[in-house]
Amino acid sequence: MENIKAILDKALNTHLLNKGEIITLLKSDDELLFEYADEVRQKFKGNEIHLRGLIEFSNICKCYCKYCGLRCENKEVERYRLTKNEIISLAKNGAELGYKTVVLQSGEDSYYTTDLMVEIIKEIKKFDLAITLSIGERNYEDYKAFKDVGADRYLLRIETTNPALYKEMHPNMSLENRLNCLKNLQKLGYETGSGILVGLPNQSIKSIADDILYFKENNFDMIGTGPFIPHPNTPLARAQAHLDNFKVSLRVMAITRLLLPDINIPATTAMETLNPNGRIIALQSGANVVMPNITSTEYRAKYYIYPNKICLNDSSDKCRNCIEAKIKAIGRNISKTKGFRSDKQL
Ligand code: SAM
Ligand code: SF4
Ligand code: FES
């Protein structure tokens, strides 16, 4: 217990930890970690929570990620793709609901060419929204074209930095290319977000500690950590949980807050899937962002990344009101700004 407090005090004062200290925190049940992370969040990000409206615009994907229900080999999922106008109108609706950022997320779907994405981004920028893209790996020129017309942020989780595990989870992909994409995004001036899945088969606590050190070394602007949830129509359908995926995700998130005190950290939807109060617990353990769904209800169930996703039958208005009430109930406010990392918060 003493040891934990000493490690946390060091993190509070220096925002530095070594691998051994991170491993100790990842393995400990001590709730003090969450109190410290909440304190650092309060000091660096204040009371405001940033909402990002999530638009899941295509579930078509050419990749084989073994954990994901959208992987191309899953024939059970009914595929959909939204038109340019549908995407723009969802973004407009998001702006009307008071969102300051929309997140455009999809599988790796080459239907959305560089030119088409550029047109969509340009139109959405007219609503005075910040745009976060989460559309997977593209080349430098594509990322540059999107940035040039106003894309602000990009989310691309590294998923794991362990080379053997990365290879095992991602047939036909390379860790090197993923790392390179993240470097390109940073070079182009995106607010760049990464993160990992927690609880993948054969993922060790040591490798999670390496992932956290990787976040710190690369000074990412956002880090999203999600528990891995086995999907029935994937090769990992029968994966046995070897960690408490919810608890360990929460610890990863809290340690990340201690090491990168001023970044944006979402309370992830997957956390709420595993725990009915998961997002609020996360917001009280270091997180300062929530990404409610603003996709039309008819498509939500088809974006079936993992089972028991929340809000599948809800409307965008309902989600907005629901999250607002939950946030107010814990004495926090919804930000009226776009919520960049560098914004003055306090
Ligand atoms: N295709 C883009 C990509 O991979 O970056 C964006 C969409 S992808 C569905 C978004 C995230 O979903 C991935 O980064 C991954 O971490 C998460 N995900 C996929 N399958 C999951 C599962 N079974 N449990 C929890 N999260 C999962
Ligand atoms: Fe495709 Fe992303 Fe799912 Fe991988 S995680 S299969 S890239 S949607
Ligand atoms: Fe969708 Fe609560 S956030 S119903």
Q: pLDDT tens for the chain, 346 residues: list them.
A: 569 999 999 999 999 999 999 999 999 999 999 999 999 999 999 999 999 999 999 999 999 999 999 999 999 999 999 999 999 999 999 999 999 999 999 999 999 999 999 999 999 999 999 999 999 999 999 999 999 999 999 999 999 999 999 999 999 999 999 999 999 999 999 999 999 999 999 999 999 999 999 999 999 999 999 999 999 999 999 999 899 999 999 999 999 999 999 999 999 999 999 999 999 999 999 999 999 999 999 999 999 999 999 999 999 999 999 999 999 999 999 999 999 998 854 4
Q: What is the pTM of this model?
A: 0.98
Mutation probe of ligand 3 site: the residue of 99, 323, 327, 334 with most atoms within 8 A of C-beta: 323
Tokens of 290: 């929530």
How far away, in angstroms, is 300 Cα from ligand 1 center? 15
* pLDDT at residue 56 in the model: 98
Q: Is the beta carbon of 311 within 6 A of some atom in ligand 3?
A: yes
Question: Residue 51, SS3?
Answer: strand
Q: Is 226 in the pocket of ligand 1 (CB under 6 A)?
A: yes
Ligand 2, residue 170: give the atom nearest the CA.
Answer: 4
Residue 247's Cβ-side half-sphere holds a number of Cα atoms within 13 Å equal to 12
| Pairing between β-strand 130-134 and β-strand 101-106 as defined by DSSP bridges | parallel
- Closest ligand 3 atom to the C-alpha of 319? 1
The answer, yes or no, to whether any atom of ligand 1 lies below 6 A from the CB of 266, is no
Q: Is 61 in the pocket of ligand 2 (CB under 6 A)?
A: yes
Domains of the chain: 2-337 (3.20.20.70)
> From CA 193, how far away is CA 101, in angstroms rounded?
14
pLDDT of residue 346: 45
Nearest by Cα to 252 from 160, 146, 121: 160
Query: Which of 251, 162, 154 has its CA nearest to residue 194?
Result: 154
Assess whether the C-beta atom of 196 lies below 6 angstroms from ligand 1.
no
